[in-house]
Structure 1
Amino acid sequence: MPVHVIDNLNTVAPAQWDALVPGNQPFLRHAFLSSLEDSGSLGPRSGWRAEHVLHYENDQLVAALPYPKLLVAVPFSPVGGSRILSATPEGGRELLSELPAYLQSEGLSSAHVNFTDPAADALLKLQPGWLQRIGCQFHWHNRGYRDFQDFLDALSSRKRKQMRKEREQVAGQGIEFEWLEGAQMSEVLWDFVYACYSNTYEIRGQAPYLTREFFSLLAERMPESIRVVIALQGSRPVAMAFSLIGGDSFYGRYWGCLAEFDRLHFETCFYQGMDYAIAHGVQRFDAGAQGEHKLIRGFEPQITRSWHYLMHPGLKDAVSEFLEQERVGIMAYAEEARSALPYRQVD
């Protein structure tokens, strides 16, 4: 059966969609994606138009590509994971094989699949015409640490002292922290979270991508995946970090503050997340896409992958040549970054 395109995820039953999502990947769940749509975070104001490509067999949904209008991705979320949602490998291959015809019929010049997992890489590698691009992020790994001090003991003396000093600076300003799950959040607290989130954009003269309603919808639809840490000075909330948890991974997504304090960003976004991961046995902490400042705090280089299908042969050849050159540079950069990690050398 040819592909079927919908512009509203609520057309598909949540259970039917989620059955295609392997493991516990919060960003791909129907609840997350539909909250983006229903809250108005996606639409003309943000430059996104939802078009989900579906593949059915005998009226049963067997494969899907979320948001393929040029881009197959999780909106606003540079987080690795499944991108070709399929009940079987055959369904994924068939859906991908039909995508070029869809591009041509819609007059599109290209398709892009961002932040893929190994399963998607394996499928795309076998499809003709797709080009792979690599990138580099920084993720923290829990090596079975008993507590934060156990993690510090794995570092060089200088870096250990630096991190301890940063945490002491925050505590010395009277800042304490409270962790909350989605079900524990009130609308008043969500107002505070959104004020902090919006402030990170507004201080740069930008408009926030997400609407206030998105956070309430997400708390209603998938509260078990939400973690919020609130920084308080006395009883006054001054900053927050919003995260999602799924499987063995912890994803730091948004942060913001309404008052400035020394080293508060590092404590709220990094050290608090490490504490949480250690206490709850979470293996991996993805604190977001940007920032070499993560490297010196123990976040290790992680190669990311994306795939690109270009309709114009000449453009495809030129981009392919560029990607080969870029790959060499990124692999060298990741290796150099790894040599700068703060961990003690063990003979």
Structure 2
Amino acid sequence: MVELEFINAISAIDAATWNAIAGQDYPFTRHEFLQALESSGAVAADKGWQPHHLVARRDEQIVALMPLYIKTHSYGEYVFDWSWADAYQRHGRSYYPKLLAAIPFTPATGPRLCLANDAEREDVMRAIASALPAHARQMGASSVHILFSKPEVSSAWQPLGFMQRSGPQYHWFDRDYGDFDGFLASFSSRKRKTLRKERKAVAEQGLDLQILCGSEISPAQWRFFFHCYQLTYAKRSGHGGYLPEAFFTQLAATMPEHLVLVIASHGDEPVAVALNFRDQHTLYGRYWGCVREYEFLHFETCYYQGIEYCLREGLRHFDPGAQGEHKIQRGFTPIATYSNHWLADADFSAAVAQFLDDEKLHIAKYLRDASAMLPFKQEEA
């Protein structure tokens, strides 16, 4: 029998025990990453992100873990359910709190249910799919949401009562290109010339780019990064960002092997920066900022340097983050991402199910149409 416990701080389980289950390759479920979010104050009850992590045991042995949060808003999730919350409010009902299995501020697909033994997945998922809704009802939560699961795992949640939702992102995949010139050789002639023109324009503006990994990044470079991070959020949202400087400095100390920083400089002055995470197979683009605007510098810093890094390091996949149709013409393939949802209210659940069915058709059509915009030669498109 699987028994569940909910802990209100990641520190309730030591790092070695957590990482033995969650693994140490995918960066965002590592104990160190989740601990940095909590100890820096980025996630907390007063921020609308109360840690409530799920621990599943059988015969007193941990068999599964799930990063879980009690949410009192829908910020920082990237699977937008504001319209659902508005519908609840219009009908005099409360959508918050809700339970969210996700990585805060991180729309990167990966494990959400972490298993000690993958052979137990079916039994453990069945137990959790029964217990989580009961727990949500008991605590007065409207719903349970599992965001950015792998496709096969998301599909497995569906027959257990968790509706599936899809959305678009744009990812790069290494099709045995060898190097950046090999990647460009897959483009149509016109698109290839356009991309080369963009890269040439960056060089002609006197900009130099450097990639630094982990411990190579100096404290001064981290301070510059955080300044740029705050500038980006100030421009977009009028605030300094969700994550404090202490979050990044803690990651630099505890998991530097996952960090890849791209810095653009004009002469001796740094002017732009992009922070990426990595594992053995994937580069994850996360944050960008600049102190001065230069033509095409964003594309060079956030995309082309990342692709070159992947090709050089043998990474087969580059997830540059959410949104951005401009990525398509630069060789990033439109793909579907997946989330799962359970709503306690039967009427709202039925309405959302119909909405998701309709939305799924639109997303599928969009992905087909967007794929036609890829820059590859016709036979490779």
- Normalising by the smaller structure, the TM-score range is over 0.9
1:83 aligned onto 2:112? yes
Shift of 1:23: 7.2
1:346 aligned onto 2:379? yes
Shift of 1:119: 4.6
Which digits, 9 at most, give the CA deviation of each residue in 1:152-194, with x for residues without a partner? 1110111111100100111011111111111112221111110
CA RMSD of aligned residues (A): 1.5
Q: Which residue of 1 aligns with 2:243?
A: 210
2-structure distance, mates of 1:34, 1:131: 30
Q: Which residue of 2 aligns with 1:335?
A: 368
Match for 1:310: what amino acid?
L
Shift of 1:220: 1.0
Q: Which residue of 2 aligns with 1:259?
A: 292
| Matched position secondary structure for 1:151 | helix
1:304 aligned onto 2:337? yes
Shift of 1:45: 5.5
2-structure distance, mates of 1:29, 1:132: 26
| Distance change >3 Å, CA 328–CA 157, structure 1 → 2 | same
In the TM superposition, 1:185-334 aligns within 5 A as: 185-204=217-236, 205-334=238-367
Structure 2: 5+ residue stretches without partners: 71-98
In the TM superposition, 1:142-153 aligns within 5 A as: 142-153=174-185
Shift of 1:255: 0.5
2-structure distance, mates of 1:167, 1:53: 47
TM-score where L is the length of structure 1: 0.96
Which digits, 9 at most, give the CA deviation of each residue in 1:92-145, with x for residues without a partner? 332232111101110111000001113522431331x21111111000111122
Which digits, 9 at most, give the CA deviation of each residue in 1:303-324, with x for residues without a partner? 1110000001111111111111
| Matched position secondary structure for 1:266 | helix
| Matched position secondary structure for 2:293 | coil
Q: Which residue of 2 aligns with 1:53?
A: 54
**Contact 2:171–2:320 (CA<8 Å) still a contact in 1?**
yes
Range with greater deviation from structure 2 (82-91 or 214-223):
82-91
Which digits, 9 at most, give the CA deviation of each residue in 1:65-94, with x for residues without a partner? 212422110000000011111223123332
1-structure distance, mates of 2:369, 2:345: 36
**Contact 1:229–1:242 (CA<8 Å) still a contact in 2?**
yes
**Contact 1:20–1:63 (CA<8 Å) still a contact in 2?**
yes
Shift of 1:41: 1.2
2-structure distance, mates of 1:84, 1:2: 15
TM-score where L is the length of structure 2: 0.88
Given candidates 158, 170, 173, the residue that maps to 2:190 is: 158
| Distance change >3 Å, CA 36–CA 23, structure 1 → 2 | closer
| Matched position secondary structure for 1:115 | strand
2-structure distance, mates of 1:44, 1:261: 40
Which digits, 9 at most, give the CA deviation of each residue in 1:207-227, with x for residues without a partner? 311000011110111111110
| Matched position secondary structure for 1:203 | helix
1-structure distance, mates of 2:167, 2:23: 24
2-structure distance, mates of 1:53, 1:309: 17
Runs of 4+ with deviation above 6 angstroms: none
Structure 1: 5+ residue stretches without partners: none
Match for 1:208: what amino acid?
G
Count of residues paired in the alignment: 346
In the TM superposition, 1:54-133 aligns within 5 A as: 54-69=55-70, 70-87=99-116, 88-89=120-121, 90-127=123-160, 129-133=161-165
| Distance change >3 Å, CA 35–CA 243, structure 1 → 2 | same
| Matched position secondary structure for 1:303 | strand
2-structure distance, mates of 1:141, 1:296: 14
1:38 aligned onto 2:39? yes
Shift of 1:285: 0.5
| Matched position secondary structure for 2:277 | strand
| Matched position secondary structure for 1:288 | coil
2-structure distance, mates of 1:257, 1:293: 19
| Distance change >3 Å, CA 23–CA 126, structure 1 → 2 | farther
| Matched position secondary structure for 2:149 | coil
Shift of 1:346: 2.5
1-structure distance, mates of 2:14, 2:58: 16
| Distance change >3 Å, CA 250–CA 305, structure 1 → 2 | same
Q: Which residue of 1 aligns with 2:16?
A: 15
Match for 1:10: what amino acid?
S
2-structure distance, mates of 1:142, 1:206: 37
Shift of 1:24: 2.0
- What is the percentage of aligned positions where both structures have the same residue? 41
**Contact 1:23–1:247 (CA<8 Å) still a contact in 2?**
no
| Matched position secondary structure for 1:237 | strand
Shift of 1:325: 0.7
